[in-house]
Amino acid sequence: MVMEGVGGRKLAATVLLVRDGIIDGQPDLEVYIQERVSTMPHFPRATVFPGGGVDPRDFPDFSDGHSPEIWEGPDALEWADRLNTSPEIAYALVFAAVRELFEEAGTLLAEHGNGGGLVKDASKYHAYREKLESHEMSLTEMLVRENLVIRTDLIVPFARWASPEGDRARFDTFSFVAIEPEGQCADGDTREASSTGYFPPELILEGWRAGLLRLVIPTWASLFELSHFHSTAELMESIHEFNLNPIVDDAMNNPRYREFYELKRNERF
């Protein structure tokens, strides 16, 4: 089973969870972020989106000769075409995105089995979050036990960033966008974050410019792109235009990201 990304980097998935908000009396887009605790081995105190590395439990389970019916929406073959990966890796990336979003934000992109409709109250499943995080249980096991099916049409590919050569943390990270499901509300009940919340992307960038927040380039670039949209509908209309080719070492030379590298020299962290 191949579990490596470009150049042998560890595969990872992150989710930009968005919703429609009202800022100063005007409709605006908001995105969910969290500030990582100082004890995290990677990116301590950085402001990030929910996400993390892909691991074996995210791959399809054929231990009994077949995979359980826990997937509704575009299949792994279609996702492989979208992400330019193998179907097995595409499956794992989608599962990792759904799992990490649930672990870190309590938001579950799933529906009840047998046509029971979308999950609107994920809190009844929150006891599983710690078991998933500790690897005591896989997302597949949780879904089967609770007769749930993930909805792969509720996430959309957004970007792909690969850590530069020489970085201590070497990840090939696929970013996805998801609109907060009706009836659900993300929370900060995770040991990985010291603070969480929904904010307009431009407000987060202003906090970074003021030296109040720490951002890494993939997060900064995603916020920069999101700041051009003012509703989830507007974002989703344009999201197909984003490129899924991995950004590796050329970001520093991209004039679109010049502000990040110019201000990063004076970063206070």
Q: What is the pLDDT along the chain (269 residues), one digit of tens a residue?
A: 556 788 888 999 999 999 999 888 788 999 999 988 766 666 677 899 999 999 999 998 755 444 568 999 999 999 999 999 999 999 999 999 999 999 999 999 999 998 889 999 999 999 999 999 999 999 999 999 999 999 999 999 999 998 877 666 688 999 999 999 999 999 987 777 778 899 999 999 999 999 999 999 999 999 999 999 999 999 999 988 777 888 776 677 788 888 988 886 545 43
Predicted pLDDT of residue 62:
54
Among 129, 2, 123, 141, residue whose Cα is nearest residue 67: 141
Give CA separation, 195 vs 40, 57, 201, 205, in Å.
Answer: 14, 28, 16, 17
Q: Cα–Cα distance between 231 and 103 in angstroms, integer?
A: 26
* Separation between Cα atoms, residue 10 and residue 13, nearest integer Å: 10
pLDDT recorded at residue 66: 45
This prediction has a pTM of 0.92
- Identify the pLDDT of residue 65: 41
Residue 249's pLDDT is 61
Topology (CATH level 3) of domain 8-264: Nucleoside Triphosphate Pyrophosphohydrolase (3.90.79)
Residue type, 93: L
The domain segmentation of the chain, as residue ranges, is 8-264
